[in-house]
Amino acid sequence: MSGFVHLLQRLGKQEEIYTPTFVRDTEQIINFVCPIHDYDDLVFIERDYLLLDETIWKDLSDYRDLRLS
């Protein structure tokens, strides 16, 4: 969880960051695969956990500009 928060904190502060990806076939996380550039205007973070009412997930709302539900 702390890695995810750290990634969100870095958005917009660095020229380029790389995010992990999840391979469903092998249920494996591969780090540093998907680049996010400083010129990217929109980043989607998609998961149902962003809608949970638990404190740890509510705190992530500080890092979003828009919520679609």
Residue 30: what pLDDT? 94
Indicate the pTM of the whole model.
0.63
| Token pair 């205007």: residue | 41
Residue 69: what pLDDT? 63
Residue at 68 is within a domain = no
Domain of 50 in residue numbering reads as 2-63
Residue at 69 is within a domain = no
Query: Is the pLDDT confidence value at 65 over 70?
Result: yes
Residue at 18 is within a domain = yes
State the total domains in the chain: 1
Over residues 12-59, the pLDDT tens digits come to 787 899 988 889 899 999 999 999 998 888 888 766 665 667 776 777
pLDDT-derived band of residue 6, with 50, 70 and 90 as boundaries?
Answer: confident
Whether the Cβ atoms of residue 68 and residue 42 lie closer than 8 Å to each other: no
Query: Is the pLDDT confidence value at 68 over 70?
Result: no
